[in-house]
Chains A and B, each alone.
Chain A
Amino acid sequence: MTMLIRWSWLFGLTGFLSVVASFALWFVLGDVAGPPRAFALAGSILLMLWLILDRERLGDTVTSRAFTYGGTAVLMSIMAATLSGGLFVLARDHDQTWDWTGAGSFTVSEHTKTVCAGMDRDVEILAFYRARSWPEREFRDLARAIEEVCPRLTSTVVDPVSRPSLAEEHEVRVEDGVLVLTSSTGQTRRLEGRLDEERLTDALVVLLADKEHTLCWTQGHGEPSPDDEMSERGLGRVAFEIDDLNYRIQPVLTASEGIPRTCDAVIVASPESDWLPAERESLAVYIAEGGRVLALLEPDWAPDLAADFGRYGVELRGDIVLDLNPKNQLLGIDEPSFVVLTDDNLRAHPITASLGASVVLGVARSVSVDVNADGVSAREILVTSDQAWGETDLMGDAVGPDPEELQGKVPLMVVVEVIDPEALGVGSAATPKPSPAGAEAASGAAPTTDDAVAEAPASAPELDLNMAASRAVPADFAPSPGGRLVVIGDADFANNRFVDLGNNRDLFLNAIAWLVDEEDQLGERPASGDVLELTELEGAVLVLVSVFGMPGLAVFGAILAFVRRRRL
């Protein structure tokens, strides 16, 4: 018996190992029946045997001071761990997120809120994600945030592996990242690949829109192509943004096609050479019939077209706007022709109402309105500071405000609404006489790129272009009020180089949204990326400071500390 008691710890050890093996087998086999149960039973019996045989020594241990205090400490530590775990679970179930980012990356954007507020039907999202994956978690976080501001939006996450029939029904071929949006009226829209708030909101806009808008992109006068994402002057990046919405871009050769009535809006983007009278008349017919036009007109280019806007009460001068107010200049660029417009420079209008950041214009011309123009209601919505002027003498030595130049708060963007289309003078035998300012622009300021083309209409009156203009008016011409026009004296702000600066992209998209009556789409969209460029000197300074400077300072501090210590 003494021998048995002496070696009883073997029962304890074997019993403990059996119980551990039981749990391990249970974990591996997934079922407690069979070997796990047998090991558990054997382990329990062996442990019982050990407890009975070695009871005296165990009793002494249990009643010892070390065991009592140690056990209490261990027990309290376990309780502390349990408390910490419990608090964590509680916090996770009632989680709160504080968005510290300045751009509000974890907060629903104003644009999304506007779209949600305008939802007139319910939308359900079926999100196909692998269960318990990081993309699924990210979607759930995004959906939860958006659903808080979109009461008519609901989402359901579906694992395509566990529900293959539903995945098959929606033609889901990949495991992650397919969203199927279905409205209560039966329209569906599908999203694949990358997912962020902007893309989801754009999909909602398209789904909720009753129609797809056709945006006619005029061509044939050196306008940048909407497909050009490569060159700095190209407008491909902003066109890419348009493609994600319920817009379809249709290139239009105005010289041969005129302006089709099917266009929901026309974009006249930075024509280099001038429009022929027939083309200008075609544009006027389109506007007089209730059409909508966005015109981005660079200084000096297409002077006759610029002058023709006089019939809508818009005056495009042959100048370049310079603003000396430091607040309206790009930091680090000593170039007053780059005009930065902030809150103070925006006049109240749906297009500008939601622009929180700045708008950066490249070299821009002034665009003002004639408030007394017949048949239209025109407003200036973007103006410079009062330290600006429109410089007309670009070749002169002394650049500065002259009496004949526009000074003070120089307007750069105007909106026009046509009230009486008859007043536009469409259908008359000749095109209206260009405004004096336009004429001055046409004759005074020499075109910078294509002089021959720009001057062609003025130098060849014998071509009877007025007759051609009258031919642009269709037989069934039906004037109708409601035409809208947005004119900006700059196209650079929307080009591939500038479009991501400040609110440039929002200004362009808001202008289009206002033109086609998509009020829900007006808003400030989530911020876009940051581009970083370093000069060689800046790169060298970076290496010097980061790799050598700061560690070197620490080494110097260490030497000082040890020298001081040794002296003590």
Chain B
Amino acid sequence: MSILLIARRELRALLASAVGWVVLCGFLFVTGTMWTLSVFGYVAASSDVVYDPYAASQLTFTAVLLGPWFGNVSIILVLGAPALAMRAFSEELQQRTLELLLTSPVSTLEIVLGKYLGVLGYAALVLVATSYAPLGLFIVGSPDIGAIASGYLGLLCLASCVVSLGLLFSAFTASQLTAFIATFSVALGAYLVGVFDPDPDSWLTQLSLATHLVDLFRGAVRLSDLVYFAGVTGFCLFATWQRLESFRWR
């Protein structure tokens, strides 16, 4: 129960903060512009392939429009989610309210999970706000609802990882900017690290966030991908918990 109360408080704080609205507006503008360009590109491609049977058979909403768009949204998410998570503990450290929080009758783990769910909830709201784009396709065509759901599951998994990483870094510094830069740098590095290795089975590629999003953006939900995202999130939250515990024995 305490977890949900903390989560609600965190969500309200984000809805009342400038950062939350800037992220929402910026996210909707950039993803909306990308969507518009993608759709126009798809329409042009549709007219180009009318008399090319093979190209026409490969031109599907999922593969050519939704998948790449989800990829673009994921990059924006890597930039936006750290901005949502950066204030979680940094602000408490800066305003010296963390001690107050730690001495309240809730466990450290509940605090971590509450803040995590609050920030993730806001990230989910931002993602839901973008759903008008793929769902609008139903007006002019028949997109694959399963592929859309799978794509959003992938984005939510990515948001979960980046938010938990943001919580970890924000627990280490009182500066929100430092927490943002550190989270963004590590998340972007983790996203792109697979680019440097052409081997899909190498540990470097398997470490990459992007590698585990590829199939989700195409409509295939793999157990290994879900375990990867759960593992990264779990580890970051655990490390955040340990970090906050250290304030108790210092």
Contacts and interface: CB of A to CB of B under 8 A. Distances in A.
Interface in B185-244: 198-202, 206, 215, 218-224, 226-228, 230-232, 234-235, 238-239, 242-243
B223 A133 contact: no
A555 B27 CA distance: 12
A84 B246 CA distance: 22
A259 B219 CA distance: 49
Interface stretch (A34-42, A96-104, A404-412): A96-104
Given A66-B250, A101-B62, A543-B36, A534 B140 contact: yes
B10 to A, nearest CB: 16
A77 B147 contact: no
A96 B198 contact: no
Interface in A529-568: 529-534, 538-539, 542-543, 545-547, 550-551, 554-555, 557-558, 561-562, 565
A203 to B, nearest CB: 15
Interface residues of A, number: 67
B238 A80 contact: yes
Interface stretch (B39-47, B76-84, B91-99, B115-123): B39-47
Interface string A117-144: 0000000000000001110110000000
A409 B53 CA distance: 34
A88 B28 contact: no
Interface in B116-150: 129-130, 132-133, 136, 140-147, 149-150
B56 A531 contact: yes
A95 to B, nearest CB: 5
Contacts of B142: 530
A105 B146 CA distance: 11
A367 to B, nearest CB: 28
Contacts of A236: 51, 53
- Most central of B53, B59, B146, B224 by chain A CB within 10 Å: B53
A91 B223 contact: yes
Counting from the closest, the 4 A-B pairs by CB-CB distance are: A84-B231, A558-B21, A100-B146, A546-B32
Contact of A91 (B36, B136, B227): B227
B103 interface: no
Interface in A75-109: 76-77, 80-81, 84-85, 87-88, 90-92, 94-103, 105-106
A538 B57 contact: no
B40 A539 contact: yes
Contact of A554 (B24, B42, B53, B235): B24
Interface in A42-82: 65-66, 69-70, 73-74, 76-77, 80-81
- Most central of B18, B141, B199, B226 by chain A CB within 10 Å: B199
Contacts of B150: 100-101
A137 B199 CA distance: 9
A550 B127 CA distance: 12
Contacts of B2: none
Contact of B198 (A132, A496, A554): A132
Given A542-B39, A550-B132, A554-B24, A529 B146 contact: no
B199 A132 contact: yes
27 contacts: A69-B246, A77-B235, A87-B227, A92-B227, A97-B222, A100-B220, A101-B218, A101-B220, A106-B219, A106-B220, A132-B198, A132-B200, A132-B201, A137-B201, A240-B54, A532-B46, A532-B61, A533-B140, A539-B43, A542-B36, A543-B36, A546-B33, A547-B29, A550-B129, A551-B28, A551-B29, A555-B21
A35 to B, nearest CB: 26
Contacts of B129: 550, 554
A156 interface: no
A351 B227 CA distance: 44
Contacts of B54: 194, 240
- Most central of B142, B220, B226 by chain A CB within 10 Å: B220
A196 to B, nearest CB: 8
Nearest to B199: A132
Contact of B219 (A101, A539, A543): A101
